[in-house]
Amino acid sequence: MEIFIVSVFILGYTAITLEHSLKIDKLIPALIMMALAWAGIAFGLDGFTTWFDSAKSLPMTLSGETHPERLHLMEETLLHHFGKTCEILIFLVGAMTIVEIIDHFNGFQTIKRIIKTTNKKSLLWLVCGLGFILSAIIDNLTATIVLITILRKIIKDPELRMYFAGMIIVAANAGGAWSPIGDVTTTMLWMNLKVTSGELITNLLLPSLVCFVIPTFLATFLPVFKGNIPVAEEEEKHSKNSTFMLILGLGMIIFVPIFKTVTHLPPYVGMMLSLGIVSLVAEYLSNRKFSLTQVESHEHVHGPTFKALSRIEMPSILFFLGILMTVAALESLGLIYHFGQDINAKIPENVFVILLGVGSAIIDNVPLVAASMGMFQDAMDAPVWHFIAYAAGTGGSMLIIGSAAGVVAMGMEKISFFWYLRNITWLATVGYLAGAGMFLLFQ
């Protein structure tokens, strides 16, 4: 039955990587392989000889257990993984909703108003710097969408905008790697108690900065970034509360790690508190009665909170559910743990993590990080966890399909895989290796 479950994972993941060729949304194979993997465990339960206790991070041997005892163990393990996965998903839903509420009030137009320069080099440093900072707060995917949307109002040349978008991908992924809320993978490591926010920032800020600065510096020498941009003035829709909602929304997201440090409660609790406060203010500013009981009311349907909830990326949430629960099935059988033990015995740990970063450019970094959490049993804030956070977060920049930021930029600006490979990949690779070298040097 192990062969069946591994085959389901391989076939499902192949379908995910061929999403654009098959024209099937990646959430579909993710959900199917999740269900089939756990069905395989249920049908083959009596034949398994090993099990991995995820709650205690210890492998165990199954020998004299009866079927009811094994069934109870499976249900207990499934509930454990589902609970941990839902903590991450609810956290992401809260963060996405706050960002959509900010956008409802045109809060991100405030960022556009501070971009005054027409010099290409200066604009490159400005947007990449914003990408690096914003992605640490609102995650790299959202930061990429916001900045490309702003660029469309500033740069009319599609070819030039593709170069800027490519560099934003590099900067946003680098910025997301050093923040516990900047990337799904760092959020996973943080919420699974592999890293703490303070140590993550301390250990990865400088390597991530190097990963962003060096490619941006090299890009300034390219002919495409020489000269000025003709900027056409446009009428913009302003809201008197846009700046206030931007500051409030970003501030409440930043508040989440502080809330966790003070209360020791899971991060999703703090995110729900932040979402509640931002929603309360949003409803008040929209002159609508805030009432959780008015679900069917006409006013509530058109309120900012309801609109924000209707615009969040639910396909991405379901995709993460499928991926994480499938990897959990492999982990429960001890397959990932034993694979990690074999890898550690054959190649140095740091080499493996660097290769993991390269792999994240080809394969989605979420399952790679989920798998790595089952491979290594190091203590919280061990160097390997910080290095995995850096490698998985920034390695995806080397190919446009290697990160959520790259995929969304690919769709928004119609960037082809091979155009990115020719023009941006070498810059992202230099940045990735330079940042990895910086991390290892300080370790």
Give residue-wise pLDDT tens across range 184-222: 888 888 888 889 888 999 999 999 999 999 999 999 999
Q: Looking at per-residue confidence, does 401 or 226 come out higher?
A: 226
- For residues 388 and 369, the answer to whether their CB atoms sit within 8 Å is yes
Evaluate if residue 62 carries a pLDDT over 50. yes
pLDDT of residue 231: 61
For the ranges 139-153, 195-209, 348-362, the one whose mean pLDDT is highest: 195-209
* Band of residue 406 on the pLDDT scale cut at 50, 70, 90: confident
| pLDDT reported for residue 236 | 57
C-alpha–C-alpha distance, residues 371 and 334, integer Å: 11
In this prediction, residue 295 carries a pLDDT of 47
* Distances from the Cα of 369 to the Cα of 169, 183, 342, 417, 421, angstroms: 20, 12, 17, 24, 24
Q: Where are the alpha helices (DSSP H) in 286-416?
A: 298-301, 304-311, 314-332, 335-346, 349-359, 365-375, 383-395, 404-413
Alpha carbon distance 176, 201 (integer Å): 11
Confidence band (pLDDT; 50, 70, 90) for 237?
Answer: low
Q: Is the pLDDT of residue 286 over 90?
A: no
pLDDT band at residue 297 using 50, 70 and 90 as cut-offs: very low
| Amino acid (one-letter) located at 353 | V
DSSP character at residue 119: B
Asked if pLDDT for residue 162 goes beyond 50, the answer is yes
Specify the pLDDT at position 287: 67
- Partners of 60 in the β-ladder: 51
How confident is the model over 97-114, as a mean pLDDT?
Answer: 81
Predicted confidence band at 38 (pLDDT cuts at 50, 70, 90)? Answer: very high
Q: Which residues pair with 228 in a beta bridge?
A: 119
The answer to which of 48-52, 144-148, 168-172, 320-324 has the lowest mean pLDDT is 48-52
Residue 30: what pLDDT? 86
Cα–Cα distance measured from residue 443 to residue 438, given in angstroms and rounded to the nearest whole number: 9
pLDDT band, very low/low/confident/very high, at 238 (cuts 50, 70, 90): low
Does 155 have pLDDT greater than 60?
Answer: yes
Query: Which one-letter DSSP state was computed for residue 59?
Result: E
Q: What mean pLDDT comes out for the span 34-49?
A: 87
Residue 403, sorted as left (phi over 0), alpha (psi -120 to 50) or beta, turns out to be beta
Confidence (pLDDT) at 276:
93
pLDDT confidence band for 431 (50 / 70 / 90): very high
The tokens for 127 are 């947007």
Question: How high does pLDDT run on average in the chain?
Answer: 83
Question: Which range, 72-81, 84-93, 217-226, 371-380, has the best average confidence (pLDDT)?
Answer: 217-226
Residues in the chain, total: 443
Identify which has the larger pLDDT, 391 or 359.
391
State how far the Cα of 211 lies from the Cα of 80, in Å rounded to an integer: 36
Q: Model confidence at 424, in pLDDT bands (50, 70, 90)? A: very high
